[in-house]
Structure 1
Amino acid sequence: MTNAIDWDDAYSNFAYIPDGASYPQKWRTEAAQFRSEMDDKGLLKADIAYGPDTRNRLDLFMPWGDLKGIMIFVHGGYWKEDFDKSVWSHLARGAHAHGFAVAVPSYVLCPQVRISDITVQIGLAITKAAGEVAGPIHLTGHSAGGHLVARMVTVTSPLPQTIRQRIRKTVPISAITDLRPLMKTKMNETLHLDAIEARLESPALLEPQEGIDLTAWVGADERPEFIRQNALLANIWAGFDCSITAVEDPTKHHANIIEGLTKADHPLTRTLLGL
């Protein structure tokens, strides 16, 4: 017999993070400061619509001088938590310092929509952002956002081929790559995942696009399930014609793993931008 797994506990991040409840306010404060800086310099294009809902909006931070391309960050929150683009603006700092435009979209959340609908929304958001800025595209996202950016580089991606061809690097951070265990959690009362959708929306169960370059990034101090999910994607996709690597970032947990994106010379930023 095998021991029953408590799947709610397996995906409970903040209960295992010291002072975990303080992070959302920390993010909001740092994001507001960065937004104010960019707005004062005339570098913020706020609330660009990519769809009909009030949450189908993205912010675009433009750099000074020569444009190197665009980085797009997709936020997490288990596809259901009440976060939006304004909480994550500061994560543009690292890429912005290297001359990249940075787009951060909001999206309609579960249970108003399904995860498969959010996949379509993110495809529209990336397409809109890419239409605003020329050059190569670099994708990253955290947790559920990591799932969504990995989903964008599968063979069933909603992205047009012209956009897919511009993607140079994808870095899912602490991504959920196999959705099937979530059907056994209480959060599925909100997500409404079934076996068919879980399979069709799980990057680890899908084929990657040929030739993609992806680094699956996770904190070494995260919950074991997130470390497993990170390794799972890298392991399975290693059997395809693409470049796949995995990183376990020492001492990082699910909340502070994204802080590397705020620093121009952090390995996370440099990996994402191909520096």
Structure 2
Amino acid sequence: MDATREWLDAQYDARALVDDADAIIADWQDRSDALRRTDPPLTISYGDHPRQAADVYSPAPGGGPSPLVVFVHGGYWQALDKEHFGFLAEPFLTAGAVFASLDYRLVPEVAVADVIADVRAGIAELARRAADLGALPTSVGLVGHSAGGHLVASAMATDWSAHDLPADTVGPVVGISGLYDLEPIRRSYLNDVLAMSEQDAHDASPVHMTPTGPGPLLLTCGGDEPGEFDRQQELLVDAWPGVPTDVLQQEGGTHFDACTRLALPGPLRDVAVPLLVRR
């Protein structure tokens, strides 16, 4: 694409575009802390690093194994953690699903490729331990926000046999304000920390991966977000014509409250929860 660094910086600097971004993130943490006090999660490790872990929230027992939904957070591969997003468990628990908030190592301690590998390994560990968690081990639903949208799309393009798991390990996927072509990210201020080469950005971009999961795939972003987030979605739709995909247009909404809406009454929750919670 033909764009200056200055223009790309303005499009992708999510915090600078949202006056109350810090307050929104603090609210995520407060709401998650409240849930953790009343419904403490089980923490599952999938590696030796403290961030290679997931917090697992379970619904009330009954009715056999539950669908498993895994949430992957954003933060431009550099920030935030699983504890910020426990509050998103509530609508999924109500729907009878087991909900996991998955963490991963951050850049610059590791490269973006390592973050992708962490998320794949975390999903694999949760699938292997599904029976112990009261969950189904296949058709795992994935949902990710921002960089997490990139990571769940990458997980949808995974050879699960390399993890000794069946091809249908991952089922429906929801990407919220996701990033599916990392070349414009490489050309923006974000690469000062990410340090991706042109080849790195190509290899880490879902638009250049081959999906292995059947879907369906739901993509959405806030209606008030910069046009690059809409374009990112269009690129993935065009790159993956064989995957059944819907794009949910939201009325208003910033990069941050586009994620919050997953836990609030409204079109995103109404579409995403039943899509992900399939038996």
Give me the TM-score of the superposition, normalised by structure 2: 0.88
Counterpart residue number, 1:73: 71
RMSD over aligned Cα, in angstroms? 2.1
Q: In terms of mean alpha carbon deviation, does 265-274 or 16-25 score higher?
A: 265-274
Cα distance in structure 1, aligned partners of 2:159 and 2:202: 12
Give unmatched runs, 5+ long, in structure 1.
none
- Higher deviation after alignment, 260-269 or 62-71: 260-269
CA offsets 1:143-199 (integer angstroms, 9 cap, x no match): 000000000111567963625413220111111000011111222121111111111
CA contact (8 A) 1:93 1:261 kept: no
Correspondences of 1:2-21 after superposition (within 5 Å):
4=4, 6-21=7-22
Q: Is the 8 A contact 1:222 1:252 kept in 2?
A: yes
User: Shift of residue 201 of structure 1?
Assistant: 1.0
Identical-pair percentage: 26
**Are 1:179 and 1:198, in contact at CA under 8 Å, matched by a contact in 2?**
yes
Q: Look up the match of 1:61.
A: 57
Question: Quick one: distance in 1 between partners of 2:3 and 2:184?
Answer: 15
Tell me which residue corresponds to 1:27: 28
How far 1:104 sits from its partner (Å)? 0.9
SS of the equivalent of 1:60 reads strand
The AA in structure 2 aligned to 1:170 is: V
Aligned position for 2:38: 37
Q: Pick from 243, 262, 268: which aligns with 2:272?
A: 268
Q: 1:210 to 1:100 in 2, by over 3 A?
A: closer
Aligned pairs (5 A) from 1:191-270: 191-209=194-212, 211-238=214-241, 240=242, 242-263=243-264, 266-270=270-274
Matched residues, number: 266
CA contact (8 A) 1:92 1:261 kept: no
Contact kept, 8 Å, 1:71 with 1:102, in 2: the verdict is: yes
Distance 1:35 1:94, change over 3 A: same
CA distance in 2, matches of 1:141, 1:210: 16
User: Taking structure 1 as the reference length, what is the TM-score of the superposition?
Assistant: 0.89
Q: Distance in 2 between matches of 1:180 and 1:164?
A: 29
CA distance in 2, matches of 1:158, 1:8: 39
**Superimposed CA distance per residue, residues 25-75 of structure 1 (whole angstroms, 9 cap, x where no aligned partner):** 111101101111212xxxx213x2110111111111011123421100000
Q: Could you give the per-residue CA deviations for residues 193-246 of structure 1, whole angstroms, max 9, x where no partner exists?
A: 1111111110112222263321112122111111110121112212x2x21221
Structure 1's 258 and 210: CA in aligned 2 closer, same or farther, altered over 3 A?
Answer: closer
> CA distance change for structure 1 residues 163 and 36 in 2, over 3 Å: closer, same or farther?
farther
- Contact residue 130 and residue 163 of structure 1 kept, 8 A: no
